[in-house]
Amino acid sequence: MLRVITDERASVIQQVRKRGEGVEIGVHEGAFSERLLEVAQPKKLTLIDPWAYDGTRSGALYGGKGMSQEMMDARHGRVLKRFAPQIARGRIEVLRMESQAALARFADGSLDFAYIDGDHSYAAVKADLEGWLVKLRPGGLLIADDYRNASWWGDGVIRACHGLLAEGGAEIEMKLGSQIAFRKLAEPDLASQ
Ligand SMILES: C[S@@+](CC[C@H](N)C(=O)[O-])C[C@H]1O[C@@H](n2cnc3c(N)ncnc32)[C@H](O)[C@@H]1O
């Protein structure tokens, strides 16, 4: 059956290589993880989120105002329950930790995609884009959510994305609404130059 996918996020993740391996940084309740499973059809998807309460953060979505550690623990529990069948089969792995700590779990050049939707501050998005790009195979997709001037992060996501482009190593594959996808370039073959 032909499925018509209409929303922007789904259109972007449709570009990901099917039956590959990827990560979602920032999981919340796992709503988008479910879309990733359905649309990108990964062989293995790792969900990374500390589900940590931090009173200094902004917004309930990020574990800030209006939240408590008990509420974050309950969120984590709901995600484990939601994906219990996929976790049992090894198709999903849940890492309850900050994205920067999770980097060490992955070999360089091993992933087909990374979807970045964790801490939206400029410094954190910059670190995520740079760190996860290294983990992608050449041709893999690095996708950032909330590429727009909004909320408490202001232009942080936009600036971090532009910084990545300036550094080289990736080119824009697609920009749709507040989604932006970068394709990792192949390493230059220095021996043949
Ligand atoms: C916008 S929500 C993610 C929404 C989810 N991707 C979706 O679309 O359904 C942001 C999430 O990032 C998580 N987060 C905050 N800091 C993080 C970090 N350093 N590493 C990974 N995740 C982080 C928060 O706990 C929160 O669940």
Q: What are 138-182's pLDDT values in tens digits?
A: 999 999 999 999 889 999 999 999 999 999 999 999 999 999 999
Protein residue with least CA distance to atom 6, ligand 1:
27
The band of 131, judged by pLDDT with boundaries at 50, 70 and 90, is: very high
- Nearest atom in ligand 1 to the alpha carbon of residue 115 is 6
How confident is the model at residue 192, as a pLDDT? 58
Domains and CATH numbers, the chain: 8-192 (3.40.50.150)
- Ligand 1, residue 29: give the atom nearest the CA: 9
Q: Token digits for 110? A: 């091993």
Closest CA to 91 of 103, 99, 83, 102: 83
Q: Is the pLDDT of residue 190 over 60?
A: no
Those residues with Cβ within 8 angstroms of residue 105's Cβ, 6 or more apart along the chain or in another chain: 46, 95
> What's the pLDDT at 59?
79
CA atoms lying within 13 Å on the CB side of residue 128: 29
Q: What integer pLDDT is reported at residue 60 of this predicted model? A: 79
Amino acid letter, residue 146: D
| pLDDT value, residue 1 | 43
Q: What is the pLDDT of residues 11-68, one digit of tens each?
A: 999 999 999 999 999 999 999 999 999 999 999 999 999 999 988 888 778 888 889 9
Burial-class residue 1 by CB neighbours within 10 Å (0-12, 13-18, 19+).
Answer: exposed
Instruction: List the alpha helices (DSSP H) in the chain.
Output: 8-13, 31-39, 69-82, 84-89, 99-102, 122-135, 156-167
| R_g over Cα of the chain | 16
Q: Mean pLDDT throughout 120-149?
A: 97
Residue 134 has phi, psi (to 5 degrees) of: -60, -30
Secondary structure class of 184 (helix, strand, coil): strand
Q: Is the pLDDT of residue 97 over 90?
A: yes
Residue 128: CB within 6 Å of ligand 1?
no
